[in-house]
Amino acid sequence: MHEGYSLSTYIFRKRIVIWVIGMAFEAKSFENLIGIKGFSDTLLNNHFTLYQGYVANTNKITDTLMAMLKDGKTGLPEYAELKRRIGWEYNGMRLHEYYFENMSKLGRAPDKNSKFFKKVTEDVGSYEMWEKAFKAAGTMRGIGWVVAYYEPVAGKIYNAWINEHDVGHLCGAIPLLVMDVFEHAYMTDFGIKKADYIEAFFLP
């Protein structure tokens, strides 16, 4: 390890190096969610297909950027535009993984003994108040995500609105709960009733 670099910096750099040399991302399977309360199989299967598109595009852009780098084409506007776009595709991929991973057939009722429950109670007065704030962010007009982040510097939990996939993330914060509020996440089952979808997302 280079003197002066912390372990986290080293790990971060190692990840970047791995990404640059073209390690392909693989789509995960979330078939275990089929049959979950509140969501039809059709909605879920469409959503899985859409997620797989983000994985494929993240790989495609990564490979194209690498090829352009090798060919000395980094000065082209095409390179710049793909470089700008990679965050959108990558976040589209990872946010969907977090979203599917935080859904469970076992029910979504909060564990009152969990650190999360205790922390939001401490931060905003009650779990119910935190949930109300999270749902309120979700019902805002627009497409994107609502993410409950743990912000380690302040030691607090924040509900953030992410516009599309890439605008509004809190630097250094850790996503704890992720909710998709793009129309594809609910229109198949709920039409334009986004609030009903959000209630289904929180079904116990």
Residues that bind Fe ion (CB under 5 A): 180, 182, 185
Pairing of strands 144-151, 156-163: antiparallel
To Fe ion, the closest distance from the beta carbon of 96 in angstroms equals 5
Nearer to Fe ion, 65 or 95 (CB): 95
The pair of structure tokens assigned to 186 is 């609910």
Quote the least distance from Cβ 114 to Fe ion, whole Å. Answer: 26
**Considering the complex, what minimum distance in angstroms separates the CB of residue 47 from Fe ion?**
6
- CB of 89 closer than 8 Å to CB of 61: yes
Contact 148, 177 (CB under 8 A): yes
Nearer CB in complex with Fe ion: 182/201: 182
Cβ-based nearer residue to Fe ion, 51 or 130: 51
| Residue 170 near residue 158, CB atoms below 8 Å | yes
Q: Which amino acid is at 1?
A: M
CB of 98 to Fe ion, least distance (A): 11
Largest separation between any pair of C-alpha atoms in the chain: 57
Supply 27's token pair.
């789509």
Give φ, ψ of 105 to 5 degrees: -70, -15
- Nearer Cβ to Fe ion (134/182): 182
Closest-CA residue to 179 (of 158, 163, 157, 201): 201
Q: Which residues pair with 51 in a beta bridge?
A: none
Shorter beta-carbon distance to Fe ion: residue 157 or 178: 178
By beta carbon distance, the residue nearest Fe ion is: 180
Shortest distance, CB of residue 59 to Fe ion, whole angstroms? 18
